[in-house]
Chains A and B, each alone.
Chain A
Amino acid sequence: MRTLTVDSADLAYGGGEPVLRGITVTARPGELLAVTGTSGAGKTTLLSAMAGMLPPRAGTVAVDGAEVGDRDRAVAQGVVLIPQDNGLAAILTAAENIAVAVIATGGSPADARRRTAEALDALGLSGQANQLIDELSGGQQQRTAIARGIALHGTVVLADEVTSELDAANRQRVLELLRAEAARGAAVVLATHDPEAAAVCDRELHLADGAAVWARP
């Protein structure tokens, strides 16, 4: 399993002022890392950089010492992202969204079918597998995105506010599933502003005023 390292990274969009400066953090295999902070603190920015979607202006983002590079390379290194907006294709059903991602990341069609079914079952969405995304509620859509993240069997799993639209039971279920991912050996990073969700994690990095502080190192 692999370790994700962010070392002295300045993160900024375009030519603007950095949103985060000098961030250093490591996500280790088998552990759940919470990234907390208020709205706009830079949680999504940090996860975007970890996912290879935002190159750091300074510093490095690496998996086992290898630069993450762009998103395609990150995917190749097993970095899975569950985006805040779920990132689901409206034209596809819940099952198809998962299957496409599994096949795109190298899974066989048979793997895709099996892992899709398992993931949806784990999230309680077996009955919604063949429904179009627009036909699902906000919570169902979020769980579909999580199911996809789990089905991908990544080495690094980045979950951005994945419990924001869930009821307590489903939030618990999702946190357990993320724990199971960590138990499988994945490095799991959970961006959240929910203290209860953060409390479940092994460590907590708090973002504020463009800097990172270890709330629980």
Chain B
Amino acid sequence: MISLALALAQVWARRGQAVTLALLAMLAVASAVAAPAYLLVADRAVAAGQIATAGPGELSLVARGARDADAAADDGTGIDFTDVGHALIDMDGFSYVYSAEMPTVGLERATTYPTRFVFRQDVCAHVRILSGRCLAGEGDVLLGERTAQRLGLAAGDGIVLSGARLNGDPVPKYVAAAPPKTLSVAGIYRPLEPAGAYWGTHGYFISGPDVGSGEPVFTNSLTLSATRQTVTTMAIDGIANPGTFDIHRLDQVEADLRRVEEVSREVGAVQINTGMPRLFERIEEGRAEARLLVPVLAVPLVLLACFSIYLTVGHGAEARQNELAVVALRGTRWWTRWWLATGESLAAVLAGALAGCLAGQLLINAVAASLFPGVGADAGWASLRYAPVAAAAALLAAVAALRRQLFSPVATLLRRTPPERRRLQATEAVVLVLAIVAGGQLALSDGSLTGVGLFAPALLMLALALLTAHALLPLVGRYATRALNRGRIGVALAGLQLSRRPGATRLFALLAATAAVAAYATCAVDTAARGRAVQAELGTGADRVLTVEAVPRRRLLAAVREVDPQGAFAMAVTNLYSGGSRPRPGLAVDSPRLAAVATWPEDAPSAAEVARRLRVAGTERPEFTGTDIVVEATKVPTGPDAELRLIAAVSSVRGLGESVVEFGEMSAGRRAYQQRVAICRDGCRISGVGIVGGTTSEVTGRVVVHELRAAAPAGDATPIRFTEQDRWWGSHRTRTSAAPDGIAADVEVSSGAAGAAWIRPVSAPAPVPMAHAGPLPEANVISTLGGDAVPVVSVASLPAVPVLGRTGTLVDLELADQLTVDEARAQQPQVWLNAAAPADIVERLAKQGLTVIGDTRAGQVRERLDRQGPAIALWFHVLAGVLTVLLGAGALVLTIAVDRARRAEDLTALRVQGLRPGQAAQATFWTFPVLVTIAAVVGLGAGVAGWLLTGWALPLAGLEPPDLPLPGLPRVPVLLGVGGAVLVLYLVAALGVTRRR
């Protein structure tokens, strides 16, 4: 009882220290509670982020099955939606839309795609009837407004449609396979929200040369049933209702989906299409990334919290060592001695630990409410599962710190200044060995943040801080001795107090380690932020990228130039051919606009300079005008007669497209080969005259090309002669030479575009200038826009090509187009825009004939990245950095407060002996500020060193990062700013407590 009263009296007598110690214990336990609590919040935030940025296909599902009327008539098979239907109905939270469609012909002239004849439940509620009425009776259909306008149809008109099937031609066509049915156009429609969830993922409104008009013919179920069917695709679309994807329902939705898929597999004929599994995978990936990233700094946070308790309890006990020595001297029983030594500290730690359980959860609740509004917290006690362990660790740390006072002989207790240590202590050696083992494990496991490797960052930083403290403080002591020998008493006393005061090494190590954790957190957070910026900006290519429907390359170029004549905000871009014998990702860009529009990688030659090197001035290709083209050429017999076929590649000067004209098999001797080319009515440029083989086997031959001319009645009959050899050059399958009245080509060719040999006009330079990232293309040859190989020369080496990443090529679109000998449209044509692009750019492009089918903004990509697992997890690093610095500051405050009396005693003694007030003040105010300044600088270095050693293992850009040159280091000003803030906080704490009297 007396002991208890005595312990309480001790607590009261040193209540300031007790409160500070309790706060430190609270921080320690709060840190241990905060990490799992944050992971629970991160789980919810990751899910919320992914759901918020999910595509429509990821929040819906389609049960789809096809019924072939002929097969059904033969064997009675059909689709049974019953089981799947039941399973779908059991799937709560979805609204279902039934639809059925059939390919038909009869409305459009094209046969490469059908007219989609579609019944969709409640379609009238989702379209605007521009004229006429909506569907009512049997035979009614709705036509799209553009289709009606194009075909000159209006409400009330009749149309005839027949159920269709693909025929078996090499180039398949849709042909009628059912009797024609006359239908009545009830109304003309325009979809209210073409991209709305109601329409599902059927792509009704996607148009394109090989896809169709993008306007299905809608009808009702009566009409569809009354129409003779061919292959009918039936579908049930499940569209998520609001609240279905609430975070707490995700497991339920996932389980329901699994059940539906199971039933679908059993039924067989019904297929479930949905992007939900990918969404759930992304959520799980994000959570996995968070689970890897959060513990990286949770571990040092808890370790440092225990270390700070160890330090402060130990320091407090040293300060009252005399009391304990007196107790020991009197021969007090061991438990009384134990209680008097530990009771005061343990009471404070225990009280703090209990408060920490609550504080940790409240802290995370506040952080979650601030960072992820609306996400909410997970009800339950799961976050407290580590609280008892953390509380026990805090108490153990306190007891460990008191071991000297518990077990030392009285003589040792009476000694105030511990002997100087020169060798490593066992604890330091253990930390060093563990750091080496953990670092080695991390390196050997290729960055796997599991097992011992998870502790690598924490242990490395701690080991660096301890070793630096061990090495540095004796140096400070030596410096102070030298200062005394030079008569600089203030500096000398400050230095000697630093190097000799009890626990100075540990305090220094703690401060350096906390600053290191803050620096490490800064490295992780800022490097990741920079990486996300690169991913969003360089990965997108420009501020905004519009993907447009396939058009000829020239039309794309011309349309974009028309919309932006000055090249201030828009640039045409297409992909290079990615197939062929030399596949390599590449982009062709309208290079003079590159600097103004594209996002350009750091550490690369300037975009303007690269653009200048890519666009080399050349002469334009020869032109002719006329719808009929004649090529005069001679097939020279050189050996066994091989089949050689003559072709020519032309490009419309009006942007109507490109064409490869086939003249057929060449005959021996000089002949004129003629063919019709409609797109050259207003003029064409010659891209090349080519020879191909008749078979897949390679054959050789010799051909002399004499001239090319237009032969149509209204054509320009001035021939283009091939007599000037320096105006033409041969492709890689051709060896050209001068010949009488033409140019001779010795060729080695086979059938197909890849086997062709070309004689091209010298317009574009050969080899073609190219900027590249990654290894140079094999033999310096790439596949250009049309897939044919052309020689290239690198004019710039880049760390990355926008969008493509660290392996890719970049050429000028205009030059590449001049070299292209095909009739394909631009591959994945895009319009890249910068921030100056006008708001109505889509409409402006539409006026020029470009239909936008995709719109990506770097800002949106960045927003999505900011809501993914790594970004969410890294907020915990910010929190951990702040908490560790607060721990350091708390430990510093307590240490200075405890140390003040002893320091004052020494300085008072020296003042009596003549030490002047200025010198005493210098000794007082320099001691801890010098300590914290050195510790902050060392900590900054240790944090950066820790980052360099282990930061590469952190999945900052996800578990599968993009192939982009993501930065590995933070911005120096940010790092220095955080270091400065930590230093200021420590200085304020040190000076604030030092000034108190």
Contact = CB atoms under 8 A, between A and B. Distances in A.
B416 A113 contact: no
B212 to A, nearest CB: 90
Interface string A46-75: 000001010000000000000000011001
B909 interface: yes
A104 B919 contact: yes
Contacts of B415: 134-135
Contact of A104 (B486, B489, B905): B489
Interface stretch (B359-367, B496-504, B728-736): B496-504
Interface residues of B, number: 29
A1 interface: no
Of the candidates A71, A87, A133, the one having the most CB atoms from chain B within 10 angstroms of its own CB is A87
B487 A108 contact: yes
Interface in B85-126: none
A104 B902 contact: no
B410 to A, nearest CB: 14
Contact of B902 (A88, A90, A152): A90
A134 B912 contact: no
B906 A90 contact: yes
A195 B151 CA distance: 134
A100 B913 contact: yes
Interface string B708-724: 00000000000000000
B484 A99 contact: yes
A148 B486 CA distance: 19
B501 A91 contact: yes
A126 interface: no
A29 interface: no
Contact of A109 (B417, B487, B909, B919): B487
Contacts of B905: 90
Contact of A75 (B417, B493, B501, B914): B914
Contacts of B277: none
Contacts of B697: none
Contacts of A112: 487
B914 A152 contact: yes
Nearest to B902: A90
B911 interface: yes
B915 interface: yes
Interface in B893-918: 902, 905-907, 909-917
A89 to B, nearest CB: 4
11 contacts: A53-B912, A75-B913, A75-B914, A90-B417, A100-B489, A100-B910, A104-B489, A104-B913, A108-B487, A113-B485, A152-B914
Contact of A148 (B489, B500, B913): B913
A87 B909 contact: yes
A133 B905 CA distance: 14
Contact of B906 (A71, A81, A89): A89
A3 interface: no
A132 interface: yes
B899 to A, nearest CB: 10
Given A100-B915, A101-B913, A91 B487 contact: no
A101 to B, nearest CB: 4
A136 B914 CA distance: 23
A73 B687 CA distance: 104
Given A53-B912, A91-B496, A100 B484 contact: yes
Contacts of B907: 89
Contacts of B917: 72
Contacts of A133: 417
Nearest to A106: B914
Interface string B457-474: 000000000000000000
Contacts of A91: 417, 493, 496-497, 500-501, 906
A96 B497 CA distance: 12
Nearest to A71: B912
A105 interface: yes
A103 interface: yes
Given A72-B916, A92-B496, A104 B910 contact: yes
A42 interface: no
A30 interface: no
A72 B416 CA distance: 28
Contacts of A37: none
A88 B915 CA distance: 12
A51 B913 CA distance: 10
Contacts of B909: 83, 87-89
A143 to B, nearest CB: 16
Contacts of B487: 103, 108-109, 112
Contacts of B416: 90, 134
A216 to B, nearest CB: 29
A105 B914 contact: yes
Interface string A78-118: 00010100011111100010011101110011001100000
A80 B489 CA distance: 19
Contacts of A75: 913-914
Contacts of A132: 417, 419, 500
Nearest to A113: B485
A101 B497 CA distance: 17
B918 to A, nearest CB: 11
A138 to B, nearest CB: 11
Nearest to A85: B909
Nearest to A89: B906
B52 to A, nearest CB: 61
B913 A103 contact: no
Interface string B506-535: 000000000000000000000000000000
Contacts of A101: 910, 913-915
List 10 tightest A-B contacts by C-beta distance, closest first: A89-B906, A101-B913, A105-B914, A87-B909, A75-B914, A104-B914, A109-B487, A104-B915, A134-B415, A134-B417
Given A89-B906, A109-B486, A104 B916 contact: yes
A108 B383 CA distance: 65
A73 to B, nearest CB: 11
Interface in B441-500: 484-487, 489, 492-493, 496-497, 500
A92 B492 CA distance: 10
